């Protein structure tokens, strides 16, 4: 095909190259024009504000969504992805936990912001034994590593208390610093924990007693140290430590590029 085009239009290759160069220049100019606006919409955690996007024209909104994805190191998405992201995630019903999967990552909505999150299977029914709590525990499915270290406000487990890590707790939890008991779902909501983190945040148990949640989220009254030296639950994830004491419905998978 190309040789035929060149024979009929001798300057075809030069015209294509020139058009490609002009497109690249226009894309660079658009990057520069939208950079400040995009920066004003993105928080320190990388999430993107939804409300300002609602007042924009579809082309401008799509351009900003593409550049936000690029800023998250996402591969170039297919042309329809920004529109689907907007309608299926940003504009999903208020009580939904929408999710658009792009390869090994997902775009999710929480508190009127969009988040770029690595896809992880929920661990709701998982129970992982911690045979020697003095040694680090490697969590399943790449969730990181837990350690119990000195100088915290958790009581150490007694000799007859088996230590486990779980991702679900039944009944009402009584949390240090809060009055009354709460179910875990209610507690996650009060603490502002995003839905996709609720099934992947480790919970420390001694026997059948919940003690603490990783990521510095809470300690139960049964887990608080009363006498002697306490310990701290440390969660190393993605190469970083989270101190302490510590899926979702409407998931859609789309091609990254097309």
Transcribe 23-80 into DSSP letters: HHHHHHHHHHHHHHHHHHHB-TTS-EESHHHHTS-HHHHHHHHHHHHHHTTPPPPPTT
Residue 248 inside a domain? The answer is no
Strand 163-166, strand 203-206: pairing = antiparallel
Residues 83 and 138 in one domain: no
Domain end residue (candidates: 118, 151, 172): 118
Q: How many CB atoms lie within 10 A of CB 113?
A: 19
**Both tokens assigned to 169:** 């707790």
**Both tokens assigned to 39:** 């920066």
More confident residue, 6 or 66: 66
> How distant, in Å, are the alpha carbons of 20, 77, 98 from that of 23?
5, 18, 34
pLDDT tens per residue, range 103-153: 889 999 999 999 999 887 777 788 999 999 999 999 988 889 999 999 899
Residue 257 inside a domain? The answer is no
Whether 191 and 105 have beta carbons less than 8 Å apart is answered as no
Residue 17 inside a domain? The answer is yes
pLDDT at site 125: 81
Residues 186 and 110 in one domain: no
Domain end residue (candidates: 100, 118, 136): 118
Residues 142 and 228 in one domain: yes
Residue 200 inside a domain? The answer is yes
pLDDT at site 9: 59
Mean pLDDT for 45-59 is 95
Its pTM stands at 0.72
Q: What is the mean pLDDT of the chain?
A: 84
Domain end residue (candidates: 98, 118, 138): 118
Strand 127-129, strand 163-166: pairing = antiparallel
Of 1-15, 69-83, 141-155, 234-248, the one with minimum mean pLDDT is 234-248
Domain encompassing residue 175: 127-242
Mean pLDDT for 181-192 is 94
The answer to whether residue 13 scores a pLDDT higher than 80 is: no
Nearest-angstrom CA–CA distance, 12 and 70:
32
Residue 215 inside a domain? The answer is yes
The answer to whether residue 25 scores a pLDDT higher than 60 is: no
Of 63-67, 230-234, 236-240, the one with minimum mean pLDDT is 236-240
Residue 254 inside a domain? The answer is no
pLDDT at site 48: 97
């Amino acid at each position: 095909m190309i040789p035929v085009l060149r024979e009929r239009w001798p300057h075809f290759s030069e015209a294509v190259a020139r058009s490609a160069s002009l497109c690249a220049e226009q894309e660079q100019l658009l990057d520069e024009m939208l950079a400040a606006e995009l920066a004003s919409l993105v928080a320190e955690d990388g999430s993107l504000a939804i409300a300002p996007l609602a007042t924009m024209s579809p082309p401008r909104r799509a351009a900003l969504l593409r550049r936000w994805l690029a800023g998250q190191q996402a591969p170039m998405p297919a042309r329809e992805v920004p529109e689907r992201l907007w309608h299926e995630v940003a504009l999903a019903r208020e009580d939904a936990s929408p999710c658009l999967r792009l390869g090994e990552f997902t775009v999710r909505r929480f508190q009127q912001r969009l988040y770029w999150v690595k896809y992880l299977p929920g661990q709701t029914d998982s129970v992982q034994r911690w045979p020697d709590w003095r040694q680090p525990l490697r969590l399943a499915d790449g969730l990181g590593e837990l350690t119990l270290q000195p100088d915290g406000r958790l009581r150490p487990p007694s000799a007859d208390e088996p230590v486990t890590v779980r991702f679900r707790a039944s009944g009402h939890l009584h949390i240090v610093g809060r009055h009354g008991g709460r179910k875990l779902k209610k507690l996650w909501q009060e603490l502002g924990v995003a839905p996709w983190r609720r099934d992947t945040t480790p919970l420390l148990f001694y026997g059948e007693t919940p003690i603490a949640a990783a990521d510095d989220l809470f300690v139960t009254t049964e887990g608080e140290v009363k006498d002697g030296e306490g310990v701290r639950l440390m969660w190393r994830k993605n190469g970083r430590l989270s101190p302490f004491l510590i899926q979702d419905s409407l998931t859609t998978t789309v091609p990254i590029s097309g």
